[in-house]
Structure 1
Amino acid sequence: MCQRLKWFGHYMRKTETNNTRAAIEWQPTGKRSRGRPRKRWMDGIRKDLETLEVTNWEDRVSWIRHRDIHILTVGAYTYTSDQRFQAIHHRSHSDQWTLHIKWAQKRDAGIYECQVSTQPVRSIFVTLNVVDDKPQLSDSEDGLLDMMIRDGDFTKVPSASISGGPDIHVNEGSTINLTCVVKFSPEPPAYIFWYHYDEVISYDSVRGGVSVVTEKGDVTVSYLLIQDAVQADSGKYSCNPSNADVSSVVVHVLNGESPAAMQTGSAGLSNSSITILCVMILSWTFTRTDDQLR
């Protein structure tokens, strides 16, 4: 005799005397023990699944990312342009399907679902936490890190950086030109979004004068151009590629001010003038000394 059993929100037909039903209806007494289910129940559930006569597992096992409800893999096939994701099927264990993520990043954190397309559908949910254990380096050490990465001492991971940061000063009425460089990416990013604070920059806004130019390649470069800068254009700007962590700078639109960062030209001119003056004095001194010796 058969009856309907409710299992994880779905119904399936099973016999009355099977291990799965016993595992579901069993009521423990006393303190609940922690850990994996007893082996006999796991074996019983596996046998119950085998009675479903499921074949062609390669077409039935999928990994789904819940952040954007994106099907990453089906069987051994990958359905994402991000080459960091790969499904691995262990031939020695035909019931093991692994989602492999290379160069894990913070944005990869979240819920992933392993789904088996049986009737009813079965799913296992996994929460991935990504911990950033990279050392925080100063600006002087950043160049050393780039050199070490090029020499192969570190694993190359996609990274984005905005040139000229962390603070950029521009005069009011001039053009804000921000350059975002994406390096060490196995493929060019599918997209690059620019943000002003937490708002995506609209290229067809009422303000006008905003444009973005992106050049994709082994090193992808995206240029954000904002013409006729005004005080309202000041603030935090972020470059957010599809395959790398976000990079940010703070733009200061100045109205007549002259911060130290914008005085390098004047400082250089003053130093040159001092150098020329010193040379003239030394030349005059040597000339006077030579005349006296004669």
Structure 2
Amino acid sequence: MTRREPCRSFAISVIQIITIICQVLTEEPRFAEPIPNVTVALGRDASLPCVVEHLGTYKVAWIHIDRQMILTIHRHVITRLARFSVSHDNAMTWLLHVSQVQQEDRGYYMCQVNTNPMISQVGYLQVVVPPNILDEESTQSAVAVRENQNISLVCKADGFPTPKIMWRREDGQPISVDRRKKVTVYEGDTLSLQRISRTEMGAYLCIATNAVPPSVSKRIIVDVEFSPMIWVPNQLVGAPAGTDVTVDCHTEAHPRAISYWVYDNVMVLPTKKYAINTEENSYRAHMKLTVRNLQTGDFGNYRCISKNSLGETEGSIRLYEIPMPSTSPKATEMKSNANKESVRRVNVSRSVSRVEAGTERPSVVRAQLDRAPDRDAAHHVYRPPHTQHVSGTKRIHCWRQSFLAIIVLVQVDLIV
């Protein structure tokens, strides 16, 4: 019994090995993993894998379901399209290669094994296409419209997925939508501008994007046409003879206007006498005229004129002569004289008020002040008038008036 047991164990092992080999040889093919969905950009290369276990003597075929077209069988390419090929890694993977993928290659692909019954699995090839603007279906690159009219800008694009259209202004300014609100970005393939104004003139960008790089854009220039307008900052300008003076006008016009100056019904041309400068920005212009060394014949009416194909307008500026400013006296002298004069007036007024408070009349005080030049200016001594032929009470009355006048004058001289 002991010798028979090893022989029995060996036999059992051999039988098990033979059973496994038979199972392997007789096991049907099966797919080890599903075919993944593959996304590729237009014009790139793509590959679809099909992994089959226990293929044995069976064959693998690739079929384009949407076209109902057999592409490959085993290692052979059946289709006449040179962009399709097949490869085998000598293991379980069969690869279908598509080079320079086109939009018609998009769809379902079947990997099939010719068992009985047949087995198969399906994968999807997604072909994405970057956006492309269709110029023939879109607004041309430059359009013109009269001010206060309506205009619609159209931008069409194709691609896969379907592109989204956005509008922006190139200068970053907002877009007026239906005259009720303003937006920085407007979405949609048609942009409608109602009662367009000159401030909406400029370049508009149509941008198409679908998350497949690169995004594309189209630039559409909108010209808003209107007749010229002029406004003058200063219609009256004064300047002295012999100086230089500059007058200016502001204009707006589109199409671009012809602007010039007229004086005395004659067009002003750049000379040594006249300097002309015009600064332009979009539809705006700033006209400047400088007249050098003004003379009598240079004063008068100057006109700035602007005209384009839609109309003409003008502005008027009156240039008149003003006297040359004189040299003013020194401030120190004016201050000194003013102070002395004010002090003298204050003291005189105080003295007069004091006299008025006495018994004498104001007319007597004025008379004595009028006779003030009779005093000796060098010694500040007042010389009274002659009192001959005056006697009694009249002489005393005159001396009293003279004494009061002396007090007033002495006070004035001391203060001065």
Which is greater in Rg?
Answer: 2
Structure of higher RCO (CA pairs closer than 8 Å, 6+ residues apart): 1
Assess same fold via TM > 0.5: no
TM-score relative to the length of structure 2: 0.23
